[in-house]
Chain A
């Protein structure tokens, strides 16, 4: 039986296109310092550091954890780097949680980052593979065909994607740290934005951001000593599947279904739409909201887009399951950190610290991340109560 663990500090930075005032080391240091301040702890209180980022190819730094150890005061402490493609921010938090749940560590610092202004993700994701056709179409070129198949299967109307794009940007207006603040966003603006990968328009895709997110995860004893309300980790799960095998269901991946079932079982969730108060879900392209609503069991297959159209996932519309109240990946995307931001924002909701985008009275929240060819999943459920 694992020990209890809780998020006792959260630190983020102002996300933006380019942070040319800090190096990568400065960026992770800033997020980590903010998390320590939130927890009212000192660097010497930290027993271990778990750091995550997306592929090394993005910024071209091999083994960045070694060079970042100094900035994170990891001298004479264990430091471990995690990588699971786009889901890495989530899996990094889960590895940090395991450090505490094992009973070996009291307080663990976990941090994830990306400095997209110093990287070339489009190139890194489109590099020529031996013997394959070099199509150079980026991440959207991979996901758009799956989205088109979802639309064909579910008969969803074209405006669903645009509605998600508007909804998450309206949420972002409530979050001072969000990268995109677009006060005039509406369906017409999204529709008028350039088509990138049919059916995805420019404003239905995530931005490129610089940023880092950090959390302090503590034991039951550390949480008891913590000045602010902890977010108790009620379940964690990861699943993966290969990118390419015969008969693979790519639109509604089995690994996502299994991962959700596992984390719900741990947290005692029978009906996610009813039992969860809010969720921070990895939606880098607008249509992934209805697709993940179905994959995560919030509704039946083919029904996800109806929840979106009804406003069920919208905070200002008073939806019963507001998704991505912070603005989500569509408003802020430092790739390696994006998963950890989901996990951290879920924690802030149960701590009651989500400011203008707080879902009142949140008891249970889901944090979710996915990566690769929709093949790596990491999820956690955090609660206001220990159990």
Chain B
């Protein structure tokens, strides 16, 4: 079982052979508008011409209607907790220390939710439907991704 020959506890029956993969990702026009916006600290969603649903992060098509989304819609960084859990499991190399809250956040004006962290509130005070607002990283750290938001925090008065 051991991969360390110095232990000489018996025959080696398993070895670690890590793979490293690097992808070159083509975002597509819809995701590009989201990514260029979030690089500047703004949140852009996209509307489906069929069901009028607004998706953020932008999607090129609405999976419900099967048609291409069209208009870009600017959204604020406030929304509600649609679903959540408190994660206690320690995962190796995870920089986030448990316990932490993973929530599905639905931004105001959006019709889908995305996963993000909740902060500045005790884990046992988090509730479904709680109003939250994004806490952004310093502008100097902004890149192309939702990680520009550090976490969401409850809007005043909701967490006591």
Contact = CB atoms under 8 A, between A and B. Distances in A.
Contacts of A105: none
Interface string A116-131: 0110001000100011
Interface residues of B, number: 45
B1 interface: yes
A185 interface: no
Contacts of B19: 60
Nearest to A140: B89
B109 to A, nearest CB: 12
Contacts of A147: 85
Nearest to A244: B112
A204 to B, nearest CB: 12
B48 interface: yes
A298 interface: no
B91 A122 contact: yes
B144 A145 contact: no
Interface stretch (A164-172, A190-198, A330-338): A190-198
B88 interface: yes
A245 B1 CA distance: 45
A137 B111 CA distance: 24
Interface in A132-161: 132-138, 140-141, 144-149, 152
A136 B94 contact: yes
A196 B91 CA distance: 11
A375 B117 CA distance: 24
A247 interface: yes
A131 B144 contact: yes
A20 B14 contact: yes
A188 interface: no
Contacts of A197: 85-89
Contacts of A245: 53, 62-64, 112
A246 interface: yes
Contacts of A122: 91
A130 B145 contact: yes
A158 to B, nearest CB: 14
Nearest to A149: B83
A140 B90 CA distance: 12
Interface in B116-136: 116-117, 128
Given A138-B91, A140-B89, A141-B87, A132 B115 contact: yes
B56 to A, nearest CB: 11
A146 B25 CA distance: 30
B14 A145 contact: no
Contact of B64 (A20, A131, A134, A247): A247
A227 interface: no
A59 to B, nearest CB: 11
Contact of B128 (A149, A247, A250): A149
Contacts of B14: 20, 117-118
Given A130-B25, A246-B55, A145 B147 contact: no
Contacts of A117: 14
Q: Max chain B CB contacts within 10 Å: which of A130, A152, A245, A247?
A: A245
Contacts of B96: 135-136
A135 B146 CA distance: 11
8 contacts: A60-B19, A131-B34, A134-B147, A145-B85, A196-B88, A197-B86, A244-B112, A247-B111
Given A118-B14, A131-B27, 5 more contacts: A131-B35, A132-B145, A140-B85, A145-B102, A242-B63
Complex A-B, nearest 5 residue pairs according to Cβ-Cβ distance, in ascending order: A246-B53, A144-B85, A242-B63, A246-B111, A145-B83
